[in-house]
Amino acid sequence: MIEEFLDEDLIIVVDKVEEKFTMIEKMVDQALRKGVIMTREPILHKIREREELESTGVVEGIAIPHARTEAVKDLLVVIGVVKEGLDFKSLDGKPVHIVFLIVAPEEAKNKYIQVLARISRMCRQEDFRKTLLGAASPSEVISVLEKFDT
Amino acid sequence: MEKILLYIISGETRASWDRALEISKGLSATLYALFIVDKDLVKTVASMKGLDEIDTAVQIEEEGWKYLYYLEDMAVNEGVKTALFVEEGDTIDILRRFVKERNIELLIVGHRSGQGVEGRKVERMIQQMIEYVQCPILIEKEGGKR
């Protein structure tokens, strides 16, 4: 189910980022460069608004910032890998290494919730987290996601 | 009051969702939403449907995440801070521990009157909740009065 939204070009790998919004900006900019979105500010605004309400960091090194906005035409998934970890102000206080950015328009609400639910469920599996954190390239990230997406 | 817990049993307990959002907004409290993959429920469902217990737990958990994200969507629209949790195990043990560890000040749970075995199970669970969970509990009767 998730694989239909995955694209190697929408996976970025960085060594280090100081701040969570810098990482989110990099991910949105990647989508902009690839022509998947036409504008960045409304998306960043929605994500920032959502993150200010409560951090969407989930568990054990994985965060899922998400929002709905009409600035995208369809559900968008961008994945970011931060090798050295990033302080995402998550509830468990642990550094985040993988960021799933999920944005969707109003009409894709059900799909958006299904994808969020699937990723959240996968992220609770220790096997999945370990394998994903060990992925060294975008193609490996996709392989891991495809393997566990059942 | 700063921390309110909504225990989500299913998607059929929406009156409790509305109540939890209303109270959290009114008090500017953070709404913790918890779904529990109850081990006994997993066994029962797996046995009834002839499915593997692990697959059943996966299905139930994913359904739980959907409820949580629907609730979160409503909370964002209301400007209510939320934190979502899924836990696996014995419902009463988890609720008791969760309330204690996070200093929850109010637990909200929806209850739809049911008949037969299922209805009695829910009634028993609520009785245990009242007995063991160390915080005030608001039981929102779905489709009726509190």
Q: What is the pLDDT of residues B43-97, one digit of tens each?
A: 999 999 899 999 999 999 999 999 999 999 999 999 999 999 999 999 999 999 9
CB under 8 Å to B64, separation ≥6 — which residues?
B8, B35, B36, B37, B86
Confidence grade of residue A118 (pLDDT, cut at 50, 70, 90): very high
The continuous run of DSSP H or E covering B92 comes out as helix B91-101
What whole-number distance in Å separates Cα of residue B130 and Cα of residue B121? 14
Minimum CA–CA partner of B70 in chain A: A113
E strands, chain B, where? 3-8, 30-38, 82-89, 106-111, 137-141
Please report where in the chains the tokens 């969507």 appear, as a residue.
Answer: B73
Q: How far is CA B71 from the centre of its chain?
A: 11
What DSSP string runs through chain A? -GGGG--GGGEEEES--SSHHHHHHHHHHHHHHTTS-S-SHHHHHHHHHHHHHS--B-STTEE--EEE-TTSSS-EEEEEEEEEEE----TT-PPEEEEEEEEE-GGGHHHHHHHHHHHHHHHT-HHHHHHHHT--SHHHHHHHHHHH--
Give the tokens for residue B141.
Answer: 């009767």
Exposure of A81 by Cβ count < 10 A (0-12 exposed, 13-18 middle, 19+ buried)?
buried
Look at residue B87 in the predicted model and tell me its pLDDT: 94
Q: Write down the mean pLDDT value for chain B.
A: 90
* Axis-axis angle for helices A138-148, A126-133 (nearest 10): 170
What whole-number distance in Å separates Cα of residue A48 and Cα of residue A19? 13
Residue A58, CA distances (Å) to A68, A131, B39, B43, B60 in order: 18, 17, 23, 27, 19
- The alpha-carbon gap from A107 to the nearest alpha carbon of chain B, in Å, equals 14
Q: What is the pLDDT of residues A7-64, one digit of tens each?
A: 999 999 999 998 999 999 999 999 999 998 989 999 999 999 888 877 776 677 899 9
Q: Which chain A positions have a beta carbon within 8 Å of B63's beta carbon?
A: 117
Which one of the listed residues A46, A66, A97, A129 is annotated catalytic?
A: A66
Q: How many CA atoms lie within 13 A of B145 on its CB side?
A: 0
CB contact under 8 A, A118 and B62: yes
Nearest CB among B62, B81, B84 relative to A53 is that of: B81
- The alpha-carbon gap from B115 to the nearest alpha carbon of chain A, in Å, equals 31
